[in-house]
Structure 1
Amino acid sequence: MRGMVGRACGAGLVVGVLMTGSTACSGDSGQDEAGRARGTAGPVATACANGTFTWSHLTERDRLTGVSDPERLGEGGGALQGPLRRVHTPSPSVRAQGGPAPSAAETLFSLGKKTGVIDSDARTLAEAGGETWPFTDVRQPAPKLDNDRVKPDAGGELVQYAGVREVSADFRYRCPDGRTVSGHARNWTVDLAGLIDCDERPGSALGREAARRSCEPAAASGPSGA
């Protein structure tokens, strides 16, 4: 199991990307009929910078991201040669509705603190003094499937698999003036790798899913995953 490494960046909305905002809450009622008639834009609503996140329905689960075909190794094991095929591509996501929301990075920073992935005394990412975390990067790529090639020391009909631990939750962001925005955020936290023997029952949920996909006769003709 490995923790993620890398640097984060801000992000800007629409399924996975949100508008950034750093000023106090304001409405869009400033665009009057006269302004519309002249074709000029009125004030653009932005998210308040000093609101409060409330999180609910927090879930954490391991997701299978890749699995190899079975390989028969003799006694003493050896190196597995077959590649892993991807069955799921994890990606950070922040969705909001009901008005302007903080940036995706700010939202994921709050979720990271809620789940314990981020250890910081800063109230917001903007107050973190330039420190960054991979978890706050809405454009963080999925981990490569072949990062950890396993070299078993025993033989058998073996399958290698990869996965991640995903966290997700619903949020409500409340501004001091009472305006609220609700939404949902998701990200992955750790990169997982494992090995199963098709002749044995796997001890983990990820291992059992890998067995269903590769060890069972119908696996090759089944769906390729979410």
Structure 2
Amino acid sequence: MRGTVGRACAAGLVIGVLVAGMAACTAETDGDGTHRETSGAVAKACADGVFTWSHVTTRDRLTGISDPERLGAGGGALRNPVRRVYTPSPSVRAEGPAPSAAEILFSLGKKTGEIDSDAPTLAQAGGDTWAFTDVRQPAPRLDQDRVTPHAAGEFYQYAGVREVSADFRYTCPDGRTVSGHARNWTVDLAGLADCDERPDSPLAREAARQACERAMSGAPSPSGA
């Protein structure tokens, strides 16, 4: 039985505009929404700058894995829970006075195709925003529906996300520039696979390595990250 993967887009529409400021010499906003000024006096970002993005990277990350279960002829219901191994979270870092984290993620979303909008900025997007722009966006839950393989094998479930990250430079009309880095997750992935089958994707191979090799070695399950 080949492994199967399901996916659900996580960029649903949310009403309201996020306009929390990132106006410090050096600042960072992580997934918990914490905004920290780390040095220098507070300064205001220009409102009409231009973003330039580089080193755009998309990567599937394993977020959860279950211990494998050996099923006989005819299969049966899987009972082992999916345990967290990685917690994805939005992150925005800026080395200088920059627009809000939501504006930075809006620009990244447009750059990567996660956001389809003709608006030049989030503030001009007609009062709407996307989950991708929410720096407080929580990690997807791991409580998947129980599945019932109808075949013999050593089965396990896994979960993952698609992360996108990139470096940015924000250039103001007067020539001032601010550089930084942004990251967010875009797709919630879920899969079922058999240790006796060959994985067919990087995410499935990582899941097989953690589930099947651990089972063969008798090593304990990893704790949640």
Do both proteins adopt the same fold according to a TM-score greater than 0.5, normalized to the shorter chain? yes
Following TM superposition, by how much is the alpha carbon of 1:115 offset from its aligned partner in structure 2, in angstroms? 0.3
2-structure distance, mates of 1:58, 1:182: 14
2-structure distance, mates of 1:6, 1:77: 40
Matched residue, 1:120: 117
User: What are the residue-to-residue correspondences of 1:39-58 with 2, within 5 Å?
Assistant: 44-58=42-56
Tell whether the 8 Å contact from 2:67 to 2:221 is kept in structure 1 after alignment: no
Q: Equivalent pairs: percent with the same residue?
A: 73
User: What is the DSSP-based 3-state SS (H/G/I as helix, E as strand, rest coil) of the residue aligned with 1:132?
Assistant: strand
**What residue ranges of structure 2 are gaps of 5+ in the alignment?**
1-6, 22-26, 36-40
Tell whether the 8 Å contact from 2:58 to 2:162 is kept in structure 1 after alignment: yes
Q: 1:133 to 1:148 in 2, by over 3 A?
A: farther
Following TM superposition, by how much is the alpha carbon of 1:122 offset from its aligned partner in structure 2, in angstroms? 0.3
Q: 1:135 to 1:6 in 2, by over 3 A?
A: same
Q: Does residue 9 of structure 2 align to residue 3 of structure 1?
A: yes
User: What are the residue-to-residue correspondences of 1:1-226 with 2, within 5 Å?
Assistant: 1-4=7-10, 5=12, 7=14, 10=18, 11-12=20-21, 13-16=27-30, 44-97=42-95, 99-216=96-213, 217-218=216-217, 220-221=219-220
Q: 1:201 to 1:142 in 2, by over 3 A?
A: same
Following TM superposition, by how much is the alpha carbon of 1:6 offset from its aligned partner in structure 2, in angstroms? 6.2
Q: 1:87 to 1:18 in 2, by over 3 A?
A: closer
1-structure distance, mates of 2:143, 2:158: 9
Q: Which amino acid aligns with 1:61?
A: R
**How many residues get paired?**
203
2-structure distance, mates of 1:143, 1:56: 27
More strand by share: 2
Tell whether the 8 Å contact from 1:64 to 1:87 is kept in structure 2 after alignment: yes
Segments ≥4 residues shifted beyond 6 Å: none
Structure 1-normalised TM-score?
A: 0.82
2-structure distance, mates of 1:164, 1:57: 19
Structure with higher Rg: it is 1
User: What is the DSSP-based 3-state SS (H/G/I as helix, E as strand, rest coil) of the residue aligned with 1:47?
Assistant: coil
1-structure distance, mates of 2:99, 2:144: 34
